[in-house]
Amino acid sequence: MKRRSILRVGGAAVALGAGIPLGARLLAPAQPGRLLRSTAPAPPRFRTPLPIPPVLSPVRVDASTDHYEITQRPALLEILPGLRTAAWTYGGSFPGPTIVSHSGRRTVVRHRNELPYPVVVHLHGGHTPAASDGYPMDMVMPRMPGMDHARDYEYPMNQRAATLWYHDHSMGRTGGNVWRGLAGFHLVRDDEEEALPLPTGDRDIPLMITDRSFGEDGSMAYPDMHDGFMNGVLGDVILVNGAPWPVLRVDPVRYRLRLLNASNARRYRLRLDPQPSGGGALVQIGSDGGLLERPVAHDVLEVAPAERFDVVVDFGRYRPGTRVRLVNTLGDGGAGDVMRFDVLGGAMKDESVVPARLSDGVPRLDPGRAARTRTFLFSQSRDGNWTINDQSYRPGRALARPRLGEVEIWRFITDFHHPVHVHLDPFQVLSRNTGGPGAYDAGWKDTVDVRPSEAIAVATRFTDYAGSYLLHCHNLEHEDMAMMADFVTA
Ligand code: C2O
Ligand code: CU
Ligand code: CU
């Protein structure tokens, strides 16, 4: 039965793809990918209240470890009003439940696979032993006679507070699996961060931004790559925490917004509209790998797939009653809007502060002491494949063998837009072409947006775990089309 429904979903995908005139839409280089147009009517903007993914409770807690369980299963979700969308989910919702770990406390997540295909779970940003890192061939099989369809992923959580996320990482199928709903937040907290007077509780909000397209019947079909989507699949409905263009009513106080671009291929240039007078509304306090040393105020944020920007917005800078849209100036039509914040009235106490110094956890990796420099060229081969150093991904072939504890300089060079992601440990951006790091490169990063014909140098240092890890483009269509490489730490 399940198999049949999947085939039907596949059929819808082909039909949708066929509806798009060939070459109808060449996107500006700022936004690689091809738009998959919805045939369902676009839902009204700013009507749906912003959902907050539920925080998962552990099934068991012992002296050293928190144990969680997640069942991956199909679910019918109401994403567009009045329509049902068949999704693949972590525990029945999209996004999946949020896991909250404390640094240093081991977290074990048992994933049970009730989906009709093998799956792989990766904790993005996790400092994870290779056996639990979600290597693309390391699958959790579906329920079949005589096969184990569950698996424990073990996370030591020896890492600083940060906004991580978990998502599917199946060989060649990550794009479709994430598109259908396999993504969730995993937050790490630590004592250093908890001692800061930052906004907390319901003023600390994770925002997972994705774009999707919907068939007439509400289906969230993923297109066939052969229909010209190998540059990336773009949707025309923007979802935040799984809801189309939602709205959040906010008190006139500071909020911490943990922005995650979980889209397959879409880049965003985010801005608040209107801006408060004086500008600098998006006060960045953290990046992929946790708190920055000091806050950085931005008017706009460019966010490539998989990047996280942790920002504080003070809605007290707006007059009560102001409707503040979060817009995407790289998107047109519906993709130009993300969500809205409606500022409520009334005097509110706000004890939160953004301290001038946030963290001691960002010591500089000294490139002058690098053991070696490696260069990775991200490019398209003549036969159209996405490659790294002219190689299509082959599991088991290592393109680099860094030694644990050594600083190295890794250079990423591209022909096209590629958000480059490195597993195991975050890195620090040293330069873009001949200049220094860009405006969005501060702190510990695990994904860096490399623009067409750009050369970026980063300082890496891998620690603790020997094994096979991945380096890849996080445009999920590029990743699935083999723009991925193993590196082996020892
Ligand atoms: Cu977010 Cu290797 O992935
Ligand atoms: Cu990752
Ligand atoms: Cu790419």
CA dist., res. 103 & res. 352, Å (int)? 23
* Residue for token pair 């939160």: 352
State whether the beta carbon of 325 lies less than 6 angstroms from ligand 1.
no
Using CA positions, which residue lies closest to atom 3 of ligand 1? 124
Q: What is the CATH number assigned to the segment(s) 60-194?
A: 2.60.40.420
State whether the beta carbon of 306 lies less than 6 angstroms from ligand 1.
yes
What pLDDT, on the 0 to 100 scale, is given for residue 29?
A: 58
> Residue 121 corresponds to which tokens in the numbers above?
């779970």
Indicate which ligand has the atom closest to the C-alpha of 451: 3
- Does residue 314 surpass a pLDDT of 70? yes
What pLDDT, on the 0 to 100 scale, is given for residue 383?
A: 82
State whether the beta carbon of 99 lies less than 6 angstroms from ligand 1.
no
Place 17 in a pLDDT band, splitting at 50, 70 and 90: very low
Tens of pLDDT, residues 471-483:
999 999 999 999 9
How far is CA 265 from each of CA 262, 364, 480, rounded to the nearest angstrom? 9, 31, 12
pTM of the model: 0.93
CA atoms within a 13 Å half-sphere pointing along the CA-CB vector of 225 = 18
Average pLDDT for the chain: 93
CA 445 to centroid of ligand 1, rounded, Å: 13
State whether the beta carbon of 354 lies less than 6 angstroms from ligand 1.
no
Question: What average pLDDT score do residues 253-260 get?
Answer: 98
CA angle 174, 159, 121 (to 5 degrees): 20
Tens of pLDDT, residues 115-133:
999 999 999 999 999 999 9
CA dist., res. 289 & res. 302, Å (int)? 17
State whether the beta carbon of 472 lies less than 6 angstroms from ligand 1.
yes
What pLDDT, on the 0 to 100 scale, is given for residue 15?
A: 29
Pick the CATH number of 3-30+363-489 from 3.40.50.620, 3.40.605.10, 1.10.10.10, 2.60.40.420: 2.60.40.420
State whether the beta carbon of 478 lies less than 6 angstroms from ligand 1.
no
What pLDDT, on the 0 to 100 scale, is given for residue 145?
A: 81
CA 277 to centroid of ligand 2, rounded, Å: 38
> Residue 413 corresponds to which tokens in the numbers above?
């060079």
On whether the CB atoms of residues 85 and 5 are closer than 8 A, the answer is no
Q: Give the residue, 277 or 415, on which the prediction is more confident.
A: 277
Place 8 in a pLDDT band, splitting at 50, 70 and 90: very low
State whether the beta carbon of 124 lies less than 6 angstroms from ligand 1.
yes
Q: What is the CATH number assigned to the segment(s) 201-343?
A: 2.60.40.420
The end-to-end CA distance of the chain, in Å, is: 46
Atom of ligand 1 nearest to the CA of 484: 2
What pLDDT, on the 0 to 100 scale, is given for residue 146?
A: 78
CA dist., res. 233 & res. 124, Å (int)? 21
Tens of pLDDT, residues 97-109:
999 999 999 999 9
> Residue 358 corresponds to which tokens in the numbers above?
């946030």
CA dist., res. 399 & res. 407, Å (int)? 17
What pLDDT, on the 0 to 100 scale, is given for residue 24?
A: 28
Q: Give the residue, 16 or 439, on which the prediction is more confident.
A: 439
Name which of 80, 36, 360, 311 is nearest 176 in CA terms: 36
Domain ranges of the chain: 3-30+363-489, 60-194, 201-343
- Does residue 273 surpass a pLDDT of 60? yes
- Does residue 137 surpass a pLDDT of 70? yes
Tens of pLDDT, residues 412-437:
999 889 999 999 999 999 999 999 99
Tens of pLDDT, residues 205-247:
999 999 999 999 999 989 988 788 999 999 999 999 999 999 9
CA 485 to centroid of ligand 1, rounded, Å: 12
CA 287 to centroid of ligand 2, rounded, Å: 14
What pLDDT, on the 0 to 100 scale, is given for residue 48?
A: 97
- Does residue 25 surpass a pLDDT of 70? no
Tens of pLDDT, residues 330-355:
999 999 999 999 999 988 899 999 99
What pLDDT, on the 0 to 100 scale, is given for residue 18?
A: 30
